[in-house]
Amino acid sequence: MTEIRNTHCCKHGCSRLPDNSHIKDGGSSRLTANVSTSSTVRCDRYRIEKMDCPTEEQMIRKQLEPIPGIVKLDFNLLERQLTIHHKLDNVNIITAELDSLGMSAVPLNSSNERLTVPVISNRQKWQLLISGIAAMTAEAVAWTTDNEASILVISLAALSVLTAGLPTLKKGVIALRTFTLNIYFLMSLAFIGSIIISKWPELAMVVFLFAVAETIEALSLEKARKAIKALTALAPETAEVKTGDEWLETPVSDVAIGSRIRVRTGSRVPLDSLVESGQAALDQSPVTGESMPVDKQCGDMLFAGSIVSDGVVEATVTALARESTLARIATAIQEAQSQRAPTQRFVDNFAHYYTPAVVLLSVVIAISGPFLFEGGWSYWFYQALVVLVIACPCALVISTPVTVVSGLAAAAKHGILIKGGTYLENGRLLKAIAFDKTGTLTSGKPALTDMIPCSDMPINQALLIAASLDDHSTHPVAKALVEGWRNFQPINSMLSVENFSVINGHGVKGQINGTCWSLGNHRLVEELGVCSEDLESKLSILENSGKTAIVLCSESAPVALFGVADTIRPESIQAVSKLKQMNVESIMLSGDNPTTVNTIAARLGISHAYGNLMPEVKQNKISELKAEFGHVGMVGDGVNDAPALARADIGIAMGVAGTATALETADVAIMDDNPKKVADFIMLSQKTATILKQNITFALAIKLVFLLLAIFSHATLWMAVFADMGASLLVVFNGLRLIKHNPN
């Protein structure tokens, strides 16, 4: 019977047609005729509930990677998800191979993706309790009767193993069969060895303690898992959508682009949308990390997952639920988890050689012990088993992914989206940060900065006339002047303008109350013939400070002078200062004119500033800076700065909540445009590296101490398991500390 499914690719949305090929090859579990003749790489996702740690990942890799047609495997241990990139026509082989490992795989789709299974069921709790009582009773009976192989002791030990140890033993059998050197392989050897030398009470205690250790480890990892879910499950499942004359609750998955939604006080925004009517204060901290509410009005963007603190707005949906800013953040975090950080790759390689070396050491101890030291074969065989269990690299291997994922979660919680453990670790290596000017260190929006009277007319009256003229223009400088008037006099209306016209390249003109007025740049003043030495001096001061000068002129003389400039973000000075304290050089790269660039750089305390740079020139400049400083980061908007972001060691995008391109281009994204968070990212990277080093040191030190105890006959099997459990928990909890990291 053919199994008909349509499992969608996690990233590309491709589907797979059913296949009828089930031809076996000589009884092997490998299927022939698996590989598609098409060169298209498809991908399928599976949830594997029994996949919690790198040990299971290693087993799955060893089983699946040799299959012809398997291109790549991506593991998300926190979500227990496996993504398989392949060219197979028949995917039944995948589930068959996973079943042979005791790893039942459930294909993921939109309906079951969010389903979760309890970390530990009530049945497992009862089994652990019974196993523990049986193991401790076996120890007590053996100690009081001085007989470790009596029928009662063996029965109690068997009960303990059967109630809590079967999953471990099953994985151990698979590890032995495939000769996979992991903790289950080592535990299996210890299990068999304990039976051979009749250490039944210790066998029971070892199996029970190992089951407890695995349970506590799973519960510890659940904390990191919940931290990620808290970041990726913010949007509500329904939206209030206008249908005809009614507002109806509709699943967000059914809401189309262009639909009109309503969001009220206390509700979360269900989808990315544009405000059409109403006003509201929104808490965007779940998405951007901003601590203060942001006022939203007509024309402003709303991000899915943000919370309406006060007010009611109606908005038009701009993105489907699966394409929202929140969904893109979730996807980036999921992809980041599957990437191996440098330390994790080092640890994996270390464990690859470390485990066989320890197995060889235990064999040497078992064989040479009776010849070199006192004690018989049974005694040294037991010591070899202790060494095997103590030497398990589980704590070492698990320390890195838990720490890295905790760091990624902490960063996202504070509005910093890091797209992989590599960038989280390597951020500490940055010696220089190249900032784009506009929209990064500055607001990217012109604003009225100066008002200078040139006649007896009150400056507020002159500003009203200028704003009334510019209210008819769409030029960014004109909009800045109008906005400046509204900031001064938000209630008063503009004056009526007649015979308005645009003077190309110079400004505008029009009549107000019968008087002709002209408003424009330096060239306009010279053409009108009303320029003077005093006015030239004032214009020179504004222009040399990087500002755009605008002059309001009557028919006979200049009346007022206004300065418009792209204003520096309030956080930019703090950002540069903070980086300087960390011995990281700040550099400005801009396409703006050198005068403006140097003026803003001086105000920020930046000593290296370069202007008139085209995108390709910025890219070359990054190469020069890397040769001078070493590791260099680039901060930009992710669109015009894409070449430079790509050339930098770490590309950092500002304002990712507004642009999909930024998220795709950069390695790190600052969600709320706050340049100070560049320094926060480097600090988090430094702290992550410190904790990783601590974990590796803890894990190896504990192993070394207990190895020495075992070699000198001061350790037992249950002590070995206890040491392994303690080391694992120590590094897990130490890594989880990063979740609470606060850069402020």
In the chain, where the domains are located: 24-107, 122-227+335-404+689-740, 238-323, 444-567
Burial of 567: CB neighbours in 10 Å, binned 0-12, 13-18, 19+: middle
Span 24-107 CATH architecture: 2-Layer Sandwich (3.30)
Instruction: For CA atoms 358, 363, 364, 368, give the dihedral sign.
Output: positive
How far is residue 699's CA from residue 347's CA, in Å, rounded to a whole number? 11
Contact at 8 Å (CB) between 659 and 637? Answer: yes
Looking at CATH, the fold of the domain delimited by 444-567 is given as Calcium-transporting ATPase, cytoplasmic domain N (3.40.1110)
Give the torsion through C-alpha atoms of 655, 658, 660, 662, to 10 deg.
Answer: -20
Both ends of the chain: CA-CA distance in Å?
61
Q: What is the pLDDT of residues 261-306, one digit of tens each?
A: 999 988 889 988 999 998 888 877 666 655 567 778 888 888 888 8
| Residue 672: active-site member | no
Whole-angstrom CA distances from 256 to 109, 206, 260, 303, 317 are: 20, 57, 9, 16, 7
Q: What local confidence, expressed as pLDDT, does residue 661 receive?
A: 58
Q: How many residues does the chain have?
A: 744
How far is residue 355's CA from residue 376's CA, in Å, rounded to a whole number? 26
How far is residue 301's CA from residue 657's CA, in Å, rounded to a whole number? 10
Closest CA to 91 of 33, 37, 50: 33
Whole-model pTM: value is 0.67
Question: Which tokens go with 289?
Answer: 């990390």
**DSSP states of 38-104:** S---EEEEEEETT--SHHHHHHHHHHHTTSTTEEEEEEETTTTEEEEEE-BS-THHHHHHHHHTT--
Domain 238-323: give its CATH code: 2.70.150.10
User: What three-state secondary structure class fits 442?
Assistant: strand
Question: Which tokens go with 138?
Answer: 């076996």
Contact at 8 Å (CB) between 137 and 150? Answer: no
Q: What local confidence, expressed as pLDDT, does residue 344 receive?
A: 62
Instruction: Using 70 as the pLDDT threshold, list the residues of the chain that sit under it.
Output: 1-39, 52-54, 77-78, 109-120, 181-183, 213, 216-218, 220-234, 285-292, 329-345, 347-348, 351, 391-399, 490-492, 638-640, 655-665, 744
Question: Which tokens go with 193?
Answer: 């060895």
Instruction: Determine which one of 52, 436, 471, 667 is catalytic.
Output: 436
Question: Which tokens go with 585?
Answer: 């050089």
**E strand or H helix at 367, and its extent?**
helix 342-372
How far is residue 321's CA from residue 240's CA, in Å, rounded to a whole number? 14
Give the torsion through C-alpha atoms of 535, 537, 540, 545, to 10 deg.
Answer: -110
Q: What local confidence, expressed as pLDDT, does residue 635 receive?
A: 92
Which residue reads 């998220």 in tokens?
663
Q: What is the pLDDT of residues 48-101, one digit of tens each?
A: 877 766 677 778 888 888 888 898 888 876 677 888 888 888 888 888 888 888
Q: What local confidence, expressed as pLDDT, does residue 359 receive?
A: 80
Q: What local confidence, expressed as pLDDT, does residue 9 receive?
A: 39
How far is residue 269's CA from residue 607's CA, in Å, rounded to a whole number? 43
Beta bridge partners of 107: 46
Q: What local confidence, expressed as pLDDT, does residue 118 receive?
A: 56
Q: What local confidence, expressed as pLDDT, does residue 321 receive?
A: 83
Using alpha carbons only, give the angle 176, 177, 183 rounded to the nearest 5 degrees.
30
Closest CA to 82 of 98, 69, 68: 98
